[in-house]
């Protein structure tokens, strides 16, 4: 392990995490009304109906797979009765299918954004950067999986990359574990760090929101055009206003 390994696998992760957290705090405080997906569905919906579900369902499976592979130690799955062979086959098959679905959905969304005039006009530089980095992360991740586990003889990332990932959050970084990983896995990890660093400044912030406020928000009051109230007493929240 040398100084470059320390920069790439210790300094860069903590820098990305710091920007990710503080960037979201800043964005929410100073650009709360910009915290949105800036939906373009009103401009075009045919391609969106195909690309959006394909991308979102695919990326959800990819995310769950990464959580299971990086966060849960190998010893835990083995203790639960999941052998290495079963885990490996499941991870490769599901990961490859989900990666292809995610990449295909993203390709449709990018094609739509480039070819539909109003959608392209509404595309900002941040959007272009986000799409480029997101595409890079997905392509490198899919390439690493195919090269190591389908074309190659297999690579157990749970003995190197996963412990390194957990060591970052345990504040005991082990850069040497990543230094020996295959190049495609290293590039995938570095591109993911870049994605997390730019995340707070793009439309990806919508992933961290949920319409919880709708559960407690007051009724929307509509004004009636009828001067004569109905014979039935209106329900609470539907009383006519004057």
Q: Residue 53 domain-assigned?
A: yes
Sign of the CA dihedral with 52 first, then 136, 206, and 94 last: positive
Q: Residue 234 domain-assigned?
A: no
Answer whether residue 221 shows pLDDT above 80.
Answer: no
> Is residue 188 marked as binding?
yes
pLDDT for 208 equals 84
Answer whether residue 63 shows pLDDT above 70.
Answer: yes
Answer whether residue 110 shows pLDDT above 90.
Answer: yes
Buried b (16+ CB within 10 A) or exposed e, 189-227: bbbbbbbbbbbbbbbbbeeeeeeeeeeeeeeeeeeeeee
Q: Which residues contact 111 (CB under 8 A, 6 or more apart)?
A: 47, 51
> Is residue 88 marked as binding?
no
Q: Residue 157 domain-assigned?
A: yes
Q: Residue 20 domain-assigned?
A: yes
Structural domain containing residue 150 = 3-216
Q: Residue 30 domain-assigned?
A: yes
Q: Residue 228 domain-assigned?
A: no
> Is residue 56 marked as binding?
yes
The full DSSP string for the chain is --HHHHIIIIIHHHHHHHHHHHHHHHHHHH-GGG-S----TTT--HHHHHHHHHHHHHHHHHHHHHHHHHTS-HHHHHHTT--HHHHHHHHHHHHHHHHHHHHHHHHHHHHHHHHSHHHHHT--HHHHHHHHHHHHHHHHHHHHHIIIIIISS---GGGTHHHHHHHHHTT---HHHHHTS-HHHHHHHHHHHHHHHHGGGSGGGGGG---GGGGTPPPPPPPPS-SS--SSPPPTT-PPP-
Answer whether residue 238 shows pLDDT above 80.
Answer: no
pLDDT for 237 equals 67
Domain count along the chain = 1
pLDDT for 91 equals 87
Q: How far apart are CA 142 and CA 134, in angstroms?
A: 12
Please, what is the average pLDDT of the chain? Answer: 88
CATH number for the domain spanning 183: value is: 1.20.950.20
> Above pLDDT 70, what percent of the chain?
92
Mean pLDDT in residue range 145-165: 87
Reported pTM: 0.83
Confidence of residue 164 (pLDDT cuts 50, 70, 90): very high
> Is residue 24 marked as binding?
no
Q: Residue 226 domain-assigned?
A: no
Answer whether residue 223 shows pLDDT above 70.
Answer: no
pLDDT for 225 equals 61
Q: Residue 108 domain-assigned?
A: yes
Answer whether residue 173 shows pLDDT above 70.
Answer: yes
pLDDT for 90 equals 87
Mean pLDDT in residue range 7-29: 95
116-137 per-position pLDDT tens digit: 999 999 899 999 999 999 999 9
């Amino acid at each position: 392990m040398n100084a470059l390994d320390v920069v790439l696998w210790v300094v860069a992760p903590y820098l990305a995490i710091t920007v990710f957290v503080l960037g979201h705090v800043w964005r929410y405080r100073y650009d709360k009304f910009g915290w949105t997906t800036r939906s373009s569905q009103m401009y075009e919906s045919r391609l969106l109906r195909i690309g959006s579900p394909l991308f979102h369902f695919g990326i959800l499976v990819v995310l769950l797979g990464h959580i299971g592979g990086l966060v849960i130690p190998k010893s835990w799955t083995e203790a639960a009765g999941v052998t290495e062979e079963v885990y490996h086959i499941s991870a490769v098959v599901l990961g490859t299918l989900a990666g292809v679905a995610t990449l295909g959905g993203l390709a449709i969304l990018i094609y739509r954004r480039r070819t539909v005039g109003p959608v392209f006009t509404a595309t900002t530089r941040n959007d272009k950067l986000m799409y480029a980095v997101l595409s890079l992360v997905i392509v490198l991740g899919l390439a690493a999986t195919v090269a190591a586990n389908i074309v190659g003889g297999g690579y157990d990332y749970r003995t190197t990359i996963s412990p390194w990932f957990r060591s970052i959050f345990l504040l005991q970084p082990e850069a040497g574990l990543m230094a020996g990983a295959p190049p495609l896995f290293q590039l995938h990890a570095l591109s993911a760090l870049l994605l997390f660093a730019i995340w707070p400044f793009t439309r990806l912030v919508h992933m961290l929101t949920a319409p919880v406020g709708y559960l407690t928000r007051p009724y929307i009051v509509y004004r009636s055009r009828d001067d004569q109230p109905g014979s039935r007493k209106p329900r609470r929240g539907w009383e006519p206003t004057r």
